[in-house]
Every structure is written in structure tokens, then in C-alpha cells.
């Protein structure tokens, strides 16, 4: 019932005269009728509210765009974002990655022009992945991973000089540098040698820290590598200035394909199921998170993100006093692009929805290929 209809209804209801005898109301009568109508409407609304729980009335709390934004426990900001970069050993390389829309493999001479406008827009952090292209760069031990002239160490030194305020994260793994494509050193039978792998990974982490990384992020998933890295950082006297971010809950699966195209890190045989977590292994993920916190991790990461929101929530519960990061991986990013291109949804709307879900689950840091777009979108 409209408000004007309510006024007329009350007027006719309260007037004892027949319709033929009714005359046009004066201005005073009209005001009186409107006042009575409002009182009637208010009483009716109150009777509805008090018939149930008053807390059921929620709409007013998010009726304005600003009030709506206040309902989020965490709102996406530029400082939450880390942008992945693929750095090659060819200084002038700038090659689009077909399976990863808009992303490139780049050499050292191309990094500064790429980052300058992004930093001007508010980019705060990048994570570096080395992509050696030279045929001789890969061997069974991943020797090139900590080569002083290799792509990651060279990029760290360059970026520390060029952008002193940019927070530099170095991914620590061997898969890009080993001839077999696995994340550690193998036994003769092709299985992973955990002890040798941990020793090697921790040496690489130290090399990156000494080259200028603000944060080292081991993604290999070898048991005990967080403790080994932390102890070496302490022994070197630099633990107080290097953040240790652990890929604690990194799940195996099919969402890494575009990344492996970008980094050239696909295993030459087998897969990584023996050291990456099974998709259904929630309890195993919780145990890994507990372990890495005890071993000295400063930040816990979950990877992938949108399929593992429960694990992000678990990580925040377990590490309630620690930052939790989530890697919105290449497959997740490529799926959103593919669906948006097919007209399933709007790219920007879905990128925000996916990322806000990650934040809602408990993350406060997001590694995202959408970072350049977010730097623009967050200003509009």
C-alpha cells in the first residue's frame, strides 16, 4: 500500500458521512490525516518488529556504500598485495606468457620500466621467481639457484638500488633450476632426499637474504626447511631484518599449469604429490602450519587460495597472532580471465569477489597477478 493510498483509506475509514456528502478537506484536515497515517504506519511496523527478534532487522546497517564497506573485517588495500615477477637470465627478454594473460617473463633491463609506473600507483611489494633460459643453467643440484650472476640475485641488487622502499620477497625453490624439475635433490631411485634438499634450500635462502631480499619464502615443502633457514639467519646475524614466510600449506593439484609454463618448472617425470599436500588433507595442513610456526616462520602462506578458504581460516585460527598470506595462483587467475572473456561475469567484479573471499577467510596478504589492475581499481 502506498503512503497516499493509506492517507485516503484512513480518511474514508474515519469519516462517518456518506461519500456523497464528503467535501474537499481543508489544509489543516490534510495535515492531520497525514500525521495519523504516519502514526498508523509506525505502529504497524513496530508490531511487525516486536513480533520477532529485533536483531533480524539488518538492512539499515549496510544501506549506504560506506556503511556497506564497514561490514568487512578486512578491506583490500594496496599494501596487502604482492605482485609476482618472472625474471630471466636474458637481460632484454620481454615475452608474454600465453597461458597467463597479461603476464611476461622479463630480463633485468625490462624490470625497471615495468615497475616505475606501478610503484607510482602504490605498489608496495613484489615476489621474484627466477627463470633460467640458458641450456647449461640446469643440473641435478639446482646449482644456478644461488648463482651471484643469476636472475634472482641480480634482480634483488638492482631493485634495492632502484626502489629502496619496495619490499622484496624472494621465492626459494629449486624446481626452476633442476634438470628434473623437482623441488629438491633426488636419491638415485628418483625419490626426494629431504636432508640434502633442506641443506641446499637453506643455502639458497641465505644467498637471497644476503643479496637484499627483505623476505625469503621457501615453497619447496621439504620437512624441516623453516628451522634450517631460521638457524642459518640467526648464525649469520641477519634474522632480525629478514622476514621468513613459509608456504606452509601448499597443495598439489592442477592449478599451477600456467605458472609452470612461465617458470619452465614442470617435472620431467612423476609429480610432486610426495611432498605437496593432498587436496583433501585439511588435518595434514593444520599439522604443517603448527610445525612451521614452531620452527620460526614469521608469516604463514596457503596456496592455492579460493579452493582452500577453510585452510586460510585454519591458518588464522592457529596463527592468530601472525600474518596469513594466500597465493591466488596462476590457474585461479587464468580461470577468471577465461570465464570473463566468455561473458560469464565481469572481470573486475570477479577479481574483487575472489580476493575479498580470501580476506574474509583470514588472509591479510595476497600474492596476486591482478595486482596491477587492483592498483587502478582501488583508486576508483
- The continuous run of DSSP H or E covering 244 comes out as strand 243-250
Alpha carbons within 13 angstroms on the beta-carbon side of residue 283 total 0
Per-residue confidence (pLDDT) for residue 42, from 0 to 100: 54
Residue 270's pLDDT is 45
Residue 88 sits at φ, ψ, to 5 deg, of: -100, 170
Q: Where are the domains of the chain?
A: 1-34, 79-377
Mean pLDDT of 220-242: 93
Domain 79-377: CATH architecture, name and number where available: Alpha-Beta Barrel (3.20)
User: Is there a contact between 311 and 302 (Cβ–Cβ < 8 Å)?
Assistant: yes
pTM of the entire predicted model: 0.82
Catalytic residue chosen out of the listed positions 232, 303, 316, 341: 303
Which pLDDT score is estimated for 28? Answer: 52
Mapping DSSP to helix (H, G, I), strand (E, B) and coil, where does residue 142 land? coil
250 is catalytic: yes
> What percent of the chain is modeled with pLDDT above 70?
80
Please give the annotated binding residues, written as ranges. 173, 175, 183, 260, 272, 330, 369
User: Which residue numbers belong to the known binding site for Zn(2+)?
Assistant: 173, 175, 183
First to last CA, the chain: 39
pLDDT tens digits along 120-134: 999 999 999 998 888
Residue 12 has pLDDT above 80, yes or no: no
**pLDDT for 21-54, tens place per residue?**
554 444 555 556 555 555 555 555 555 445 556 6
Average pLDDT of 345-366? Answer: 97
pLDDT surpasses 80 at 225:
yes
Q: Which of 124, 138, 250, 316 is catalytic?
A: 250
Amino acid at each position: 500500500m502506498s503512503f497516499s493510498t493509506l492517507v485516503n483509506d484512513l480518511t474514508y475509514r474515519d469519516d462517518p458521512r456518506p461519500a456523497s456528502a464528503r467535501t474537499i478537506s481543508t489544509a489543516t484536515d490534510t495535515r492531520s490525516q497525514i500525521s495519523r497515517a504516519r502514526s498508523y504506519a509506525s505502529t504497524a511496523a513496530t508490531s511487525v518488529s516486536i513480533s520477532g527478534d529485533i536483531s533480524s532487522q539488518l538492512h539499515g546497517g549496510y544501506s549506504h556504500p560506506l556503511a556497506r564497506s564497514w561490514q568487512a573485517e578486512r578491506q583490500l588495500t594496496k599494501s596487502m598485495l604482492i605482485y609476482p615477477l618472472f625474471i630471466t637470465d636474458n637481460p632484454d627478454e620481454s615475452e608474454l606468457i600465453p597461458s597467463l594473460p597479461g603476464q611476461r617473463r622479463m630480463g633485468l633491463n625490462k624490470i625497471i620500466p615495468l615497475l616505475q609506473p606501478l610503484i607510482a600507483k602504490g605498489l608496495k611489494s613484489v615476489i621474484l621467481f627466477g627463470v633460467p633460459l640458458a641450456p647449461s643453467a640446469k643440473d641435478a643440484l639446482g646449482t644456478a639457484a644461488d648463482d651471484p650472476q643469476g636472475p634472482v640475485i641480480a634482480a634483488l641488487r638492482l631493485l634495492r638500488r632502484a626502489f629502496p622502499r619496495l619490499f622484496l620477497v624472494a621465492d626459494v625453490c629449486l624446481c626452476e633450476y633442476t634438470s628434473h624439475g623437482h623441488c629438491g635433490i633426488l636419491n638415485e631411485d628418483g625419490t626426494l632426499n629431504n636432508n640434502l634438499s633442506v641443506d641446499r634450500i637453506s643455502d639458497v635462502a641465505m644467498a637471497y637474504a644476503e643479496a637484499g631480499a627483505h623476505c625469503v619464502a621457501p615453497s619447496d615443502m621439504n620437512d624441516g626447511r623453516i628451522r634450517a633457514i631460521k638457524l642459518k639467519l640467526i648464525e649469520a646475524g641477519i634474522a632480525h631484518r629478514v622476514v621468513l614466510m613459509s608456504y606452509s600449506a601448499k597443495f598439489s593439484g592442477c592449478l599451477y599449469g600456467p605458472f609452470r609454463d612461465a617458470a619452465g618448472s614442470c617435472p620431467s617425470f612423476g609429480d610432486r604429490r610426495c611432498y605437496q599436500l593432498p587436496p583433501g588433507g585439511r588435518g595434514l595442513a593444520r599439522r604443517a602450519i603448527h610445525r612451521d610456526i614452531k620452527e620460526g616462520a614469521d608469516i604463514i602462506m596457503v596456496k592455492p587460495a579460493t579452493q582452500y578458504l577453510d585452510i586460510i581460516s585454519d591458518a588464522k585460527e592457529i596463527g592468530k597472532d601472525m600474518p596469513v598470506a594466500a597465493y591466488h595462483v596462476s590457474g585461479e587467475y587464468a580461470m577468471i580471465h577465461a570465464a570473463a572473456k566468455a561473458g560469464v561475469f565481469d572481470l573486475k567484479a570477479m577479481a574483487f569477489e575472489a580476493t575479498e573471499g580470501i580476506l574474509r577467510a583470514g588472509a591479510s596478504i595476497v600474492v596476486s597477478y591482478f595486482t596491477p589492475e587492483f592498483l587502478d581499481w582501488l583508486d576508483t
